[in-house]
Chain A
Amino acid sequence: MANARLVENGIVKRVVRLKCRGRVHTVEVDGTEAVPRRAAVVPVPGGVWVSLDGHCEFFEPVLGSVPLPSRAADPEVRAPMTGRIVSIRVKPGDAVREGDVLVILEAMKMEYRLAAPAAGKVATVRVAERDRVEIGAVLVTMAPP
């Protein structure tokens, strides 16, 4: 799975990472976005082609670790899905770089590596290994470096 889900103000958001021409784009979608009806969306094995107004690109979902979007105002790392904490890789006070894995969550028999959205310090760890967590639950809070 290439996407993680988080709940924000009661809306389920999915965070999807897509590779296009070698660059990884992180996109948040909640299903309310309007896509122009003239866009052609063509799923093929391995990804999806999108053609809009003469611009056509291939997007490949990026598997593996799912960093949540960086947001200065949101220093919380939340569970993208309901699942069980497999491993906690940090403790309060640890300095982390963007992309460092904080917590590994198992959901739907797959592991999600939740990474630091930005460089900083771990403020609190709200869960323990083997805890069951609900989607959107705060797992780790971050502080500036």
Chain B
Amino acid sequence: MTKILVANRGEIACRILRTLRDMGISSVAVHSEADKDSPHVDEADEAVQVEGNDPAKSYLNIQGLLEAAGRTGATAIHPGYGFLSTNARFATACERAKLTFIGPTAAAMTTLGDKRSARSTAERCGIPVIPGARECDSPEAAQAIADRVGYPILVKAAGGGGGRGLRQVDEAAGLPEAFAAARREAESSFRDGRMLVEKFIHPARHIEIQILGDGKKAVAFGERECSLQRRFQKIIEESPSPAVSGSLRAALSDAAERLAVAAGYSNAGTVEFLLGPDGAWYFLEVNARLQVEHPITEARFGIDLVRAQVELALGGSLPAPAEPRGHAIEARINAEDPARDFLPMTGRVAALRWPHRPDLRVDAGLREGQEILPWFDPLLGKIIAWGPDREWARRRLLGGLRDLVLAGVPTNQRFLIDTLESDFFVQGETFTTTLESQSWTPPEPSKAMLVAAATAAAPPAPKSKSASPWRTRGSWRMGS
């Protein structure tokens, strides 16, 4: 009997648990003390509290997670994304504990998860890589590489990701300080101070290929464009990319498949590329796990990637990709203030109403009354719109974002709407630096919003049959 422990929280834990229910597989959730009432706990058949020094550490507690699996009789672990999903020690520990790790083998994870080793594997496969990109231990070594490839350059953590331990350097004078800062960040975030230096391709698009592998073969499921990022974190993703032609797609897919086969890659993974302004493309890195933005691929290919992951991990065969349909766009709803450098925000969800309409998917793990805690990443949920073409998907996503009510904690909702309505997005002119080069100020509240707020803040005299918020609201309940 298969029983799967989901070693994660939030929207991705909820999303994985739903597929397990669809498959008729028993599930176990884990949670920290602070998360004991979180939605993912309710979605599972069983839940186990795992200790940690702070609420996030519970999900990084390898021993605690293995004990939770042992105690509940779980036979496999799905790590989701983030936390331990790309930790080879965790994959190894699962193998030793006779638990199926739903992801690549520790060996493949090491080969492709480490940027330096992934790059040399790509070079061996004849896949173009970004000029420079050699490990260097000192600012002087970094300087030598920069002099060869030319500025601007990027200094980045060899064992990192998610934008931490990453600095752009525009001229030689700024290198020593940027190198030291990036290395400090890499050491504290990843306990790994190895650094890479490479040429900064500008303006570039971030294009990634979804793959599934079985250790011997690999198949590609099209591309996702994830160029729109703030602080090196993706925020709006789409598939297909407006910049990828059929021949480019075939070349990227072929490169991703060859790389996966060379590393003996099994399960789901993503091969990331940079597309330069001249049409040249370069291998960037591999994310040896399920990605946040996987639903846009699911929407086009009619596949459940979590189900495919589970089946592959249990010895199933590779699914064949169907002919992709239409266009899909995802927007990430984050608890953050785009007007203040995307500062993460906390608070209590006071009202929540997700949009409903055909071909609009919501992935979230959130409920009214829930406290948004500062220890976790600010992702509250994702809205994914599908349409027969890009403009349909864009309009549907905008409709969904306008319908969404999420009050009690500041979010990037209005920023996402304005971004999707911007000329650059409409024209498909999206680059990794687009969002940071645009300044955004929140619009003034409309007259209707002010009147609604004033009416609620100063209710009219009891006799007046007027615009009380209790009458102007719909029938849904707010608060918990």
Interface residue B466 (Cβ < 8 Å from any Cβ of A): yes
Q: Please tell me if the beta carbons of B452 and A52 are within 8 angstroms of each other in the complex.
A: yes
- B468-479 interface code vs A (CB 8 A; 1 in, 0 out): 010011100011
How far is it, in angstroms, between the C-alpha of A26 and the C-alpha of B256 when the chains are bound?
A: 58
Q: Mark interface residues in B268-291 (1 if CB within 8 Å of A CB, else 0).
A: 000000000000000000000000
**Residue B58 is within 8 A (CB to CB) of chain A in the complex:** no
A residues within 8 A CB of B417? 54-55
Most buried by B among A1, A20, A32, A50: A50
Q: Is A42 an interface residue (CB 8 A)?
A: yes
Contact partners of B128 in chain A: CB under 8 A: none
B405: A residues at CB distance < 8 A: 40, 51, 56
Does the CB pair B407–A52 fall under 8 Å?
no
Q: Is residue B163 contacting chain A, with contact meaning CB distance below 8 A? A: no
Residues of A contacting B411 in the complex (Cβ-Cβ under 8 angstroms): 56
From B406, B442, B448, A39 is in contact (CB under 8 Å) with B448
A92 within 8 A of B: no
State the majority secondary structure of interface residues on A. Answer: strand
Residues of A within 8 Å of B216, CB to CB, are none
A17 and B456 CA atoms in complex are apart in Å by: 12
* Contact of A50 with B452 at beta-carbon distance under 8 Å, contacts A2-B458, A44-B408 already known: yes
Is the CB of A8 closer than 8 A to any CB of chain B?
no
Min CB–CB distance A15 → chain B (angstroms): 9
Known: A16-B458, A36-B448, A40-B407. A27 touches B453 (CB 8 A): yes
Which of A57-65, A98-106, A118-126 contacts its partner? A57-65
Which residues of B does A touch, CB under 8 Å?
339, 348, 350-351, 353, 401-408, 410-411, 413-414, 417, 442-446, 448-458, 460-461, 464, 466-467, 469, 472-474, 478-479
Given A14-B458, A41-B455, A57-B445, 16 more pairs with CB closer than 8 A: A20-B453, A27-B454, A31-B460, A31-B466, A32-B467, A33-B451, A35-B467, A42-B478, A43-B469, A44-B350, A50-B449, A51-B351, A51-B405, A54-B403, A56-B414, A57-B453
- Chain A residues near B (Cβ < 8 Å): 1-3, 12, 14, 16, 18, 20-21, 23, 25, 27, 29, 31-44, 47-59, 61
